[in-house]
């Protein structure tokens, strides 16, 4: 093989190798970033669920002058209360009071009690020994929570803001 042919073969092999390594480098940068974006999206979904539950708790408190004893009694309240209108638009349920939409939830209302991340049930604790009543709504998979059991100033406050 003469020198010119050998240089062309080596150049072609190195060119292919550069392209393969470039693709590998691109994937090694973008795949972890895509995973981070997906985790951020899931975290936002779970936080949105917690905020919807908080809004439901606040509506219950306004209508009944107390927080419910459990999340199951909160759902029962929303399913049976005559002051809250329920309307369906496709798979999305809208719960309204007057002109204000309280929540819009896709699927069964029961599913709002379970984390989108791991399907674990949110925990809800009520402190009704003091006035005003305080509650703590927590995501069991993270440190995200809403409310506090001992600080009135954190009533209805999110931990991530």
Cis geometry, peptide bond prior to residue 69 (ω within 30 degrees of 0):
no
∠ Cα 118 53 112 (to 5°): 40
Q: Is residue 161 part of a domain?
A: no
Q: Is residue 49 part of a domain?
A: yes
Q: Is residue 27 part of a domain?
A: yes
Q: Is residue 82 part of a domain?
A: yes
Phi first, then psi, for residue 155 (nearest 5°) are: -60, 125
Q: Is residue 114 part of a domain?
A: yes
Task: Quote the number of domains for the chain.
Answer: 1
Residue 58: domain span = 3-154
Give 31-68 pLDDT, tens digit per residue.
Answer: 999 999 999 999 999 999 999 899 889 888 888 899 99
Q: Is 0.85 surpassed by the pTM of this model?
A: no
For range 6-22, the mean pLDDT: 95
| pLDDT value for 130 | 85
Give 97-152 pLDDT, tens digit per residue.
Answer: 666 666 666 667 788 899 988 989 999 999 988 888 999 999 999 999 999 998 99
């Amino acid at each position: 093989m003469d020198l010119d042919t050998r240089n062309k073969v080596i150049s072609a092999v190195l060119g292919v190798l550069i392209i393969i390594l470039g693709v590998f480098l691109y994937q090694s940068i973008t795949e972890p970033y895509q995973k981070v974006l997906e985790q951020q999206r899931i975290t936002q979904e779970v936080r949105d669920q917690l905020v919807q539950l908080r809004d439901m708790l606040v509506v219950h408190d306004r209508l009944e002058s107390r927080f419910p004893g459990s999340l199951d009694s909160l759902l029962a309240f929303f399913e049976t209360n005559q002051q809250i209108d329920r309307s369906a638009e496709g798979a999305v349920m809208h719960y309204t009071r007057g002109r204000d939409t309280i929540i819009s939830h896709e699927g069964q209302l029961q599913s709002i009690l379970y984390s989108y991340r791991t399907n674990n049930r949110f925990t809800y604790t009520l402190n009704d020994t003091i006035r005003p009543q305080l509650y703590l709504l927590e995501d069991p998979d993270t440190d995200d929570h809403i409310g506090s059991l001992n600080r009135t100033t954190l009533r209805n406050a999110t931990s991530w803001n």
